[in-house]
Chain A
Amino acid sequence: MSANQVALWYLVASICFILALKGLSHPSTARRGNLLGIVGMVIAVVVTLALVYSHTKNVGMILAGIVVGGAIGVVVARRVQMTQMPELVAAFHSLVGMAAVLIAISAIHDPAAFGLPVPLPSGNRLELFIGTFIGAITFSGSVIAFGKLSGKIRSAPVVFAGQHWLNLVLALVMIGFGIMFFLAGDESKWLPYIVMTAIAFVLGVLIIIPIGGADMPVVISMLNSYSGWAAAGIGFSLNNPMLIIAGSLVGSSGAILSYIMCKAMNRSFVNVILGGFGAEPGAAAAGGGEKKTVKSGSADDAAFVMGNAESVIIVPGYGLAVARAQHAVKEMATKLREKGVNVRYAIHPVAGRMPGHMNVLLAEAEVPYDQVFEMDDINGEFGTTDVALILGANDVVNPLAEEKGSPIYGMPILEAYKARTVIVNKRSMAAGYAGLDNPLFYMDKTMMVFGDAKKVVEDIVKAID
């Protein structure tokens, strides 16, 4: 296969990837989009296989690697539960990061295998340096994010004095070694490269540890973005336009998602990355000192109120995901609908641990997507709604966001407090992630139903006659 043919096939694959993303503009075209993505990947792999075969005939180990990796991929994709999606995505990001580092090492060792000049020109070294450090940060950062999301390590922010200075110094030292690698002769290239890579791995850990659980939607989008830039960096160093195109698509996608998530919390990207948010529980919130009381009720009470309502809006949050209550919620909604109640769902962009987390859980429970509304589409409806049912959400419905001076001032919220009756399910009265009290819980029209979301919703289902 000639180099021109290979390049043109790579162009076809690149177009498939663009169309794959394009398909996601609507649920009805999304599956076709994903299939196009698969077609693109298969084309890229087959063409590359043919290319290697025509050069060296050594394709045995490649095929073995693909079979082993593919089999693992099939098993993982089949077994994973929808509630585990955030940690699965984090784990997958780490694989791309590590693969990028390994490819860079291999390219430095044997440039000829990639059709690169020997010894490696300094331009390619610069690109390998960039691809490596982004890949290494993606790897170790994703491993930490995976640990936090799966509960294997504490998700609370880890902060210490001088943290940001330490990161800055490490980053500068890393760049210093990168420059040494760039300038080094062919004999002395390994030492600066290894030191640089090691520092990048450490930096990945340090960047993610100060960021707390509820900021994970930003972190996971950011790592998504990094994995794309790492692929693009490898594309530059291997002179491969398809890798550059695919990597750029992924990189910009992750960057846009990070932006959307930050906007939904009214915080700057820098503020999220510097971390520590919610580490000192709200001094501002403790202010009043007076003892406030909440009205609490049982699942039966909630069932009675909703059964007699005309309209109910359900606001799901991370608590619903933790309790795996999505199927019970769907059952409850079905029963209410059979009684003629108009049941809809309201999704805040940062509800859960990753962008779109709640939508996937509801889809898994077979909730039709035309009953599920984004924040901007449903916020006007709360005022004319009988019951807002909050399931395991807190900060995203906190009216303090509309009060000047509060730490979350300006964050767009779901205006559940405007509904005629508000029912809140929580496990306890503990403050939300922002460490803030929530005035919504103390309103006269609010009823608290304490307990595990799944248990409570199942009890409600039983109580609806």
Chain B
Amino acid sequence: MVDHIVYYLIIFVLAVFVGYHVVWSVTPALHTPLMSVTNAISAIVLVGAMLAAGPAAFDWGGWVGVAAVVLASINAVGGFLVTQRMLEMFKRKEPAAKRAGGH
């Protein structure tokens, strides 16, 4: 019987490979949005925080979990929104001369 940890190690190594190949395909112009979206994705620790904030018997450990939920939520919501804001700006615009020409 293979240990749990070995399975997780396999997932980990494969995920690193996937990340490596996907990230090299990102255009350098979008490196700032890449940072902010990966940052938002790392807020996935929110899942762990939620488990900590909803124990059967809510004691101080629960409060620690709630604090983690707040921090991770700021990060998740703020990270995705600010990425969206940035990406909205990366649109090909009509040349200014054309617009001035009364289109």
Contacts and interface: CB of A to CB of B under 8 A. Distances in A.
**A and B associate:** yes
Interface of A: 13, 17-18, 20-22, 24-27, 30-31, 33-35, 37-38, 40-41, 44-45, 48-49, 52, 55-56, 58-59, 61-62, 64-66, 68-70, 72-74, 76-78, 80, 82, 85, 88-89, 92-93, 95-96, 98-100, 102-103, 105-107, 109-110, 112-115, 123, 220-221, 224, 227-228, 230-232, 234-236, 238-254, 256-257, 260, 334, 337-338, 347, 349, 354-357, 359-360, 363-364, 366, 368-370, 372, 374
B75 A77 contact: no
Main secondary structure of the interface of A (DSSP, over half): helix
A233 B62 CA distance: 21
A142 to B, nearest CB: 10
A227 B73 contact: no
30 contacts: A21-B19, A30-B30, A34-B33, A34-B87, A44-B47, A56-B56, A61-B54, A61-B58, A65-B73, A69-B72, A77-B78, A82-B86, A92-B36, A92-B78, A99-B71, A99-B72, A106-B62, A113-B51, A232-B12, A240-B48, A247-B44, A249-B23, A250-B42, A253-B34, A355-B32, A357-B32, A360-B33, A364-B89, A369-B90, A374-B29
Contacts of B73: 65-66, 68-70, 72-73
Contacts of B81: 73-74, 77-78
A102 B37 contact: no
Interface string B13-47: 00110111011111111111111111111111111
Given A64-B66, A80-B82, A356 B56 contact: no
A359 B31 contact: yes
Given A113-B61, A251-B16, A338-B97, A69 B69 contact: yes
Interface residues of B, number: 85
Nearest to B67: A102
A356 B90 CA distance: 12
B75 A249 contact: no
Contacts of B24: 256
A38 B4 CA distance: 29
A334 B96 contact: yes
Given A78-B81, A357-B32, 4 more contacts: A37-B80, A48-B51, A232-B12, A363-B89
A88 B75 contact: no
Contacts of B12: 232, 236, 244, 248
Most buried by A among B48, B50, B75, B81: B48
A356 B32 contact: yes
A228 B31 CA distance: 16
B47 A48 contact: yes
Nearest to A357: B32
B68 A52 contact: no
Contact of B41 (A25, A37, A112, A374): A37
A351 to B, nearest CB: 11
Contact of B19 (A73, A220, A251): A251
B92 interface: yes
Contact of A22 (B25, B78, B80, B92): B25
A65 B32 contact: no
Interface of B: 4-5, 8, 11-12, 15-16, 18-20, 22-62, 64-93, 95-97, 100
A55 to B, nearest CB: 7
A356 to B, nearest CB: 3
B45 A92 contact: no
Contact of B82 (A31, A77, A98): A77
9 tightest A-B CB contacts, nearest first: A69-B73, A356-B31, A65-B69, A73-B77, A73-B78, A252-B19, A355-B31, A106-B52, A77-B81
Nearest to A64: B66
A356 B29 contact: yes
A258 to B, nearest CB: 11
B8 A256 contact: no
A66 B59 CA distance: 19
A31 to B, nearest CB: 5
Nearest to A247: B42
Interface centre among B34, B56, B84, B97 (most CB of A within 10 A): B34
Nearest to A352: B32
Contacts of A89: 32, 35-36, 39
A338 B100 CA distance: 10
B74 A49 contact: no
B55 A58 contact: yes
A30 B84 CA distance: 9
Given A221-B35, A374-B29, A102 B65 contact: yes
